[in-house]
Structure 1
Amino acid sequence: MIRIIFACILLCYVKTEAQTSVLTKADSLYALGNYNKAITLYKTQPPNAKTGSKIAAAYEALGHYDKALAYYKTSVQADSSKLLTRYKYAKLLAKTKKQTLAESEFKALISTDSLNPNYQYQLGLVYQQENDSLAMVAFKKAFKLDTTHQKAIFKIAKYHLVQRQPDSVAHYTNIGLSSYENNVELISLNAQNDYYKGDNHSAISGFEKLLELNEKTLFIYEKLGTCYANTYNYAKAIAYFEEALSIAPEKPGNVFNLGMVYAHLKQFKKAETYIKKAIALQDVPLGNEYLQLGLLYNRQKKYNKGIAAFETAIQEAPENERAIFFLLNTKAEVLTHIDDKIKLHESFLKKYPKSSSEAIVKYRLSKLKEEKFMQGK
């Protein structure tokens, strides 16, 4: 009898050791990314919540989300006390756009541990997928539970940036950066916040910090080009707009901005080349671009070309009052007879009786009539 009992104990020990050995090997395969072989070994073991969770994780790593969800669900049903499995299951539900189930799972997790900030954050992501305003409530709960939660801080700060609430953006980004100074997402939000406030120097500092952290993107080069142009550092503006064009050579806005920088430098040939190229690249209304081209021609005293550009600007955008006004000015510049200039201004007032330029045109008309009167004396 003793021999039989001993044999049974020995058999159970050997079986347990064999199972442990198989699981250890399977875990090693999983850790090395050999997921299919790991799954094959896991499936040789008796089905339970633990091995089911491991199979689910391997399927998830392979991108077989339906199979992963099925195994996670079975594992959770077998043992709901395994919070890590439930957490992975809820995250995958959210990832696969099963928002209702994901919301339910995260709420259940929160009921078991209301002090876990990441449960609140993940619930916020689910609400965000549904465009639910409760997302911000959840993100702020996560932040309240952990004021160093970088992802929650980013979501809150970004919301305030979109709402154009600069003080709130600065408040949250500064808190986040105090615990992780190289968080590129928060540095970017801070720089954008300064940019939208018109604080070009602070924005430059932020965007250049991103370059130091190897965040060399089109967006950053564009913003640096604009900030340097706004602060009259045209050499650096040109350098950054050229970097932007090296990434997106035919993006009209950057081509146009580079042309405008050259115009400020009075390098009119280059300015004309870039502005014309920007116009050629676009298939949308181009009233502003033609307006700027007209002004560029005027600065070179190429008035006939300026008139043509302003007329095109008005065709593109009939309500463009600046183009209408500059067309009047340019035509007046090329007319030599005072009667023709008077008729031009009278025609303008008749055609555009509610123009924002009405007062100045009337003043000029009175001066022209006064000049004619003096000539007749």
Structure 2
Amino acid sequence: MNKKVILVLLFFTILKVEAQSSTFSVVDSLFEKGRYQLALKELTKIDASFTSNYKRAIIYKSIDNYKKTAEFLEKALEFQDDKRAKLKLAKAYQRLNKPSKSIKIYEKITIKDSLNLVLKYQLGKLYLITNNATKAVSLFKNLIKKDPSNAHYSYQLALAYAKRNDRDRMINSFIDTFEKDTTHLKAIAHLASSFQKLKDLDSTKLFVEKGLELDKNHINLNKLKINQLYREEKYKESIPLLLNLDTIDKKDTYSISMLGRTYYNLDSLEKAKKYFKKLSILDRKNYKAYTYLGHIAMKEKKYTGAQFYYRVATTRGKEKRDEEYFGLATMYYETKKPKEALVNFEKAYKENARNYRALFQLAKISDDYYKDKKIAYRHYIKYMNNFEGRDADMTNYIKRRITEIKKEYFIRGKKLDR
């Protein structure tokens, strides 16, 4: 009797396995044809198992449903411990922005498979994503010991040092990357940027040029080169680079802004005007477009336009607006409105207490406008206390006026207050 029961159970088990195998074959065929919903429907007809859950996860992954992918991989692993499924689950967690869960899986796998450098490399990058720089440094150092010639390990180590604000070790690791692979563009770009921040002009130029030899359209390297040319007042040299950058980086207004500034400095006012007007439309927060349009209007003696543009700039600007108030004050001064000029030169100086030109103009026009020279005298003294060595002509003028005002008040028997 017992033998009969066992045979019956064995028979039904074989039938069940055959049925599942048949279903899996149908599912595989449907999957290959891209009929994913039908394949998923077939899988619901059989009892849950490692294979059925794994196949459902694979189908969901193919349609970018990573939430369902993770769900069915988790269910599959309840039936069977499987390295392949774990790795796919770790990647699904990454897609779901759950790197901490991915890390736990990779850590467990790498303990058992300590020679798998690829998995350790992925784990190190996850440490960086989660700002665990200390673990990342330790891991990438270990990888470099095992494979000293691998430039990618040195590059990731540099990024880990960057997370720790360890500038010197970061730069050394980027250099190490470059020495291992002279075509490692990301390392080259980081080195160019790092040396630029350190004001090491020669090293910056070296890595900028090396990077642009590899990729002439590299956006950040082009910007570094353009900015340096601009600082050196090599405006004509920067124009071809800016025009090229404008064609490859449509989303950023940097090239439009710099083309406007460059043409302005070359006194090509119509071209400058074109780019600044375009900038004012594309980036309404960039109030400097209106500042330069104001400057252009001043050069063209179009004072009404200058007043409009400067006022818009002072209204929209959120940072120091001393340049804008200075422009507005100059416009009023040139249109014979000294009182309004004084108000705006004072605003310019209040916006930026290091703007010595604004303080000089405030002092000089106060001197011209008011009969009482005490106001001008106080401004002159303030200038001498803070900016005596900034401009020889201004300083000499102020020294002479201070002497003259003192003499005038002494003759009149009046006291000057500082």
Aligned counterpart in structure 2 of residue 359 of structure 1, from 396, 410, 416? 396
Deviation at residue 163 of structure 1 after TM alignment: 2.0
Distance across 2 between alignment mates of 1:72 and 1:170? 41
CA-to-aligned-CA distance 1:335-355 (integer Å, 9 cap, x gap): 8xxxx6xx75x9845763573
Matches within 5 A, 1:214-253: 214-253=249-288
Which residue type is aligned with residue 294 of structure 1? Answer: A
Which residue type is aligned with residue 90 of structure 2? Answer: A
Matches within 5 A, 1:125-204: 125-133=159-167, 134-204=169-239
Aligned counterpart in structure 2 of residue 94 of structure 1, from 118, 124, 128? 128
The aligned residue for residue 33 of structure 1 is 64
Distance across 1 between alignment mates of 2:178 and 2:104? 33
Which residue type is aligned with residue 84 of structure 1? Answer: V
Which residue type is aligned with residue 397 of structure 2? Answer: I
The aligned residue for residue 306 of structure 2 is 271
Aligned counterpart in structure 1 of residue 113 of structure 2, from 76, 79, 100? 79
Which residue type is aligned with residue 181 of structure 2? Answer: D
**TM-score by structure 1 length?**
0.79
The answer to whether the 8 Å contact 1:106/1:122 transfers is yes
Distance across 2 between alignment mates of 1:24 and 1:145? 42
SS in 1 for 2:289: helix
More divergent stretch after superposition (106-115 vs 178-187): 178-187
Deviation at residue 365 of structure 1 after TM alignment: 9.6
Which residue type is aligned with residue 256 of structure 1? Answer: T
Deviation at residue 258 of structure 1 after TM alignment: 2.2
The aligned residue for residue 245 of structure 2 is 210
1:58 maps onto 2:58 in alignment: no
Distance across 2 between alignment mates of 1:233 and 1:241? 12
Deviation at residue 299 of structure 1 after TM alignment: 2.4
Matches within 5 A, 1:257-296: 257-282=292-317, 286-296=321-331
The aligned residue for residue 375 of structure 1 is none
Report which structure shows greater RCO (CA 8 Å, sep ≥6): 1
**Alpha-carbon distance change, 198 to 90 in structure 1, aligned in 2, over 3 angstroms:** same
SS in 2 for 1:352: helix
Aligned counterpart in structure 2 of residue 68 of structure 1, from 77, 102, 126? 102
The answer to whether the 8 Å contact 2:219/2:249 transfers is no
The answer to whether the 8 Å contact 2:193/2:204 transfers is yes
For structure 1, which runs of at least 5 residues remain unmatched after alignment? Answer: 1-10, 369-377
Distance across 2 between alignment mates of 1:192 and 1:279? 26
The answer to whether the 8 Å contact 2:158/2:174 transfers is yes
Distance across 1 between alignment mates of 2:303 and 2:254? 27
Which residue type is aligned with residue 352 of structure 1? Answer: Y
The answer to whether the 8 Å contact 2:363/2:380 transfers is no
Which residue type is aligned with residue 219 of structure 1? Answer: Y
**Alpha-carbon distance change, 55 to 194 in structure 1, aligned in 2, over 3 angstroms:** same
Distance across 1 between alignment mates of 2:227 and 2:354? 31
The answer to whether the 8 Å contact 1:50/1:75 transfers is no
**Alpha-carbon distance change, 318 to 128 in structure 1, aligned in 2, over 3 angstroms:** closer
**Alpha-carbon distance change, 254 to 47 in structure 1, aligned in 2, over 3 angstroms:** same
**Alpha-carbon distance change, 320 to 161 in structure 1, aligned in 2, over 3 angstroms:** closer
The answer to whether the 8 Å contact 2:99/2:129 transfers is no
The answer to whether the 8 Å contact 1:35/1:61 transfers is yes
The answer to whether the 8 Å contact 1:166/1:197 transfers is no
Aligned residues: 346
Which residue type is aligned with residue 322 of structure 1? Answer: R
**Alpha-carbon distance change, 30 to 297 in structure 1, aligned in 2, over 3 angstroms:** same
Which residue type is aligned with residue 118 of structure 1? Answer: H
The answer to whether the 8 Å contact 1:169/1:193 transfers is no
CA RMSD of aligned residues (A): 3.4
